[in-house]
Structure 1
Amino acid sequence: MAHDELDLQLLQALQLDGRASFGRIAAVLGVSDQTVARRYQKLRTSLRLRVLGIVDETRLGRPSWVVRLHCAPDGAARLADALARRDDTVYVALLNGGTEVTCGIKPRDRQARDDLLLQRLQRTPRVSAVSAHSIIHSFFGGPFHWLSKLDALTGDQQDQLRRPVPDRAGELTLDATDEAIVAALRQDGRTSLRELQDVTRQTGETVRRRLNRLRSAGVLFFDVQYDAEPLGHGTDVMLWITTAPTALTTVGRALAGHPEVWFAAATTGVSNIIVSIRCRDSAHLFTYLSERLGRLDGILQIETAPILRQVKQRELTP
């Protein structure tokens, strides 16, 4: 199914505000409400489009980790599926010919972290090695999505849809009502206020106030997830980059500006930057590695790991 500029504009509009009404989006794009509704339904079918509510766990005092698990080929897929069913995993992928599973985790507390990293994964059959890396700084990702690099919308259109920058002063604590709202939006970020009222058993005004508070504090943002291959981007790769310590910030900031990069963060471990990139094909990947990355001073080593299958896809926020 062919996709045109209006489809890309709708994707970018939803990334700027995942709960924007079709009417508001239509007014910005200069089309009718019905056109936006039809295109939205088309993308849900053709690209498996989903808008999901994502919690920035660091605003709740919960650090993020990336875990690499090397395992026997006959055990990798089952392990990936099992990890995807866990509430504390935010993404799970099969890499390197099906012999590696990489996942992002956000444990609720130290005990949950230790139970997973020091006990469960270490004892998992068919796993030969486990390495865990703490994310210590974000360069690109989370609320800053790859769709923003499409430039399908004009600057003025983006300004009309973009929400105010969140106030990130201090950490927050969620109560039962907040948790119920977040749980519903994790499944469908466009869940209506009426449905959120039913879930929380609160008034519409209470739900609206809680939702605005979560968004304004930067605890909750909305992510657009879809199949990129039909749009011409069929090669996803993870890069583990080692830089000189003095070049860490410079390289990270340069990576954030690359059109191919949809996630980049500084991590602990031998490799100090983890990057996820999206390319059209292997030729595009070769050009990116040899020319764009090859021109950055301070890079000492690059390990590439093609993503065979994205088992679970949610944004990992440092």
Structure 2
Amino acid sequence: MTQSVTLDALDRRLIHALQIDGRASFSRIAAVLGAPERTVARRYHRLRSALVVRVVGLVDSRRIGMLDWFVRIDCAPDTVEALTAALAQRDDTSWIAPVVGGTRLTCMVRTPIEGTEAGRPLFDHLFRTQGIRDVEACCVLRPVAGVGGWAGRTSALDAAEQAALLDTAPEPPDDLDDLAEPSGWGDGEARLVGELALDGRADVAHLAAATEWSASTVRRRIAGLRAAGVLHFEVDVSPAHFGYPLEALLWLEVAPAALGEVTEALSRHTAVAFAAVTTGRTSVFAMIQCPDTAALHDYLADDLAALPGIARLETALVQRRAKRAGPLLLPTVAERPHAATRRSTR
């Protein structure tokens, strides 16, 4: 569990900077924020040790031959907690949340794209699990909002400060085309992103040991994967720390002719943490962050109601997030914060 921590202005500016470049050095960030480097580093380590903030490395599933699915599971009330805990331990799951009501949970699942039966073993396993009554899986066709980070936590830096961080980002390697090819993804890359998923700021020496590569190769591969759009970094922090504790899940049935206009609008809505076009009974799935139920009502009645082509809307309130974008941190890691933070990028 995360500790009770109140984010001040410097914390929020630091989080925004990390969302722009999760592996930026503390010296780079400090120069943009106008704060001492030691203060910036101390703030980050404090927040990470409290399990409030961490940087996670994420992979674009489509670029490595995988599919993402949003899965809704209907199960007996006494099955929800055990199933949530079991799914949270899997490497191929994320965004796990029981919804208010006690008999349903949602999650994102990643499966191989090869063949129409690639994801069947997991789904068959779910159907065979005692207490599960129904499973509905919707394939993510295209993310349309929230890929670069939720807007609610990326408003602390002005345009000049954001540009300063972007201008000092590492240059992509000369052999970018080779790195972007499917053949450029192998066991070493999988180990690399596995470590970065646990700690996006893990230092190069640690990553070199994990991959059995040289430090220069690690730097080159990270730069290449980022430039090719395979790898990006996300700040994993609960919106509750920004005053948005209420999370709702929306399923929108949108007329095909209006799909472009609706998704474009969702990409501009501050309340939308993530949205995607999917297969299934509804064509758009969205995660919404609000301060309270009144704000959610206003979003549904005003922002969404103003959009054309929405024939039906289904909503559910999230009870809690058992797992977010990154892998679940085991208690042994959480109980040894200094072991995790001292490997972080300086």
Q: Distance in 2 between matches of 1:150 and 1:88?
A: 27
Aligned partner letter, 2:91: D
SS of equivalent residue, structure 1 residue 121: helix
Could you tell me whether the CA contact under 8 Å between 2:152 and 2:270 is conserved in 1?
Answer: no
Using the alignment, how far apart are the partners of 1:203 and 1:134 within structure 2? 38
| Correspondence for 2:272 | 261
Tell me if structure 2 keeps the 8 A contact 1:133–1:268: yes
Tell me what 1:40 maps to.
44
| 8 Å contact from structure 1 (residues 49, 224) kept in 2 | yes
What is aligned with 1:76?
80
Task: Say whether the 8 Å CA contact 2:180–2:225 is kept in structure 1.
Answer: no
- Would the aligned equivalents of 2:144 and 2:276 in 1 still touch at CA under 8 Å? yes
Contact 2:171 2:223 in 1 (8 A): no
Is structure 2 residue 260 aligned with structure 1 residue 244? no
- Is 1:137–2:137 an aligned residue pair? no
CA RMSD of aligned residues (A): 2.1
* Shift in CA distance, 47/285, structure 1 to aligned 2, threshold 3 Å: farther
What corresponds to 1:65 in structure 2? 69
State the match for 1:187 in structure 2.
198
Unaligned runs of 5+ in 1: none
Q: 2:291 maps to which residue?
A: 280
Query: Identity of counterpart residues, as a percentage?
Result: 41
Q: Deviations over 1:183-225 (max 9, x none)?
A: 1111111110011122122221111111111111111111111
3-state SS in 2 of match to 1:295: coil
CA distance in 1, matches of 2:142, 2:120: 22
- Provide, for residues 115-138 of structure 1, a one-character-per-residue CA deviation record: whole Å limited to 9, x for no partner: 112x11111111111111111122
Residue in structure 1 matching 2:105, options 101, 104, 107: 101
Q: Which is further off, 170-179 or 258-267?
A: 170-179
Whole-Å Cα distance in 2 between the matches of residues 59 and 165 of structure 1?
21
Contact kept? 2:275, 2:284, Cα under 8 Å: yes
Deviations 1:256-312 (A, max 9, x none): 100010101111111110000100111111111111111112111111110111111
- Is 2:170–2:223's contact at 8 Å kept on the other side of the alignment? no
C-alpha contact (below 8 Å) 2:99/2:316 kept by paired residues: yes
Does the alignment pair 1:305 with 2:316? yes
C-alpha deviations, 1:221-245, integer Å up to 9, x for none? 1111112213211101110011111
- Structure 1 window deviating more from structure 2 (82-91 vs 259-268): it is 82-91
Do the aligned partners of residues 66 and 164 (structure 1) sit closer, same or farther apart at CA in structure 2, a change above 3 Å counting?
Answer: farther
Displaced runs of 4 or more, over 3 A = 109-112, 147-150, 163-171
Counterpart for residue 178 of structure 1: 189
The aligned residue for residue 13 of structure 1 is: 17
In structure 2, the CA distance between the partners of 1:21 and 1:255, relative to structure 1 (3 Å rule), is same
**Separation of aligned partners in 2, 1:62 and 1:170:** 15
Q: How many residues align?
A: 313
Counterpart of 2:146, as a letter, is G
1:213 aligns to 2:224 (yes or no): yes
1:231 alignment partner, one of 242, 246, 263: 242
CA offset digits 1:46-69 (Å, max 9, x no partner): 562111111111111212111111
In structure 1, distance between residues paired with 2:25 and 2:152: 19
Task: State the Cα distance separating 1:38 from its structure 2 match.
Answer: 2.1
Does residue 27 (structure 1) correspond to residue 31 (structure 2)? The answer is: yes
CA distance in 1, matches of 2:290, 2:119: 33
Residues 170 and 300 from structure 1, CA distance in 2 versus in 1: closer, same or farther, beyond 3 angstroms?
Answer: farther
Residue 113, structure 1, aligned to residue 124, structure 2 = no
Q: 1:278 to 1:47 in 2, by over 3 A?
A: farther
Structure 2 gap ranges (5+): 327-346
CA contact (8 A) 2:252 2:310 kept: yes
Q: 1:147 deviation in Å?
A: 4.3
Tell me, yes or no, if structure 1 residue 152 matches structure 2 residue 152: no
Aligned equivalents of 1:55, 1:268: Cα separation in 2: 21
Residues 56 and 218 in structure 1, CA contact (< 8 A), matched pair in contact too = yes
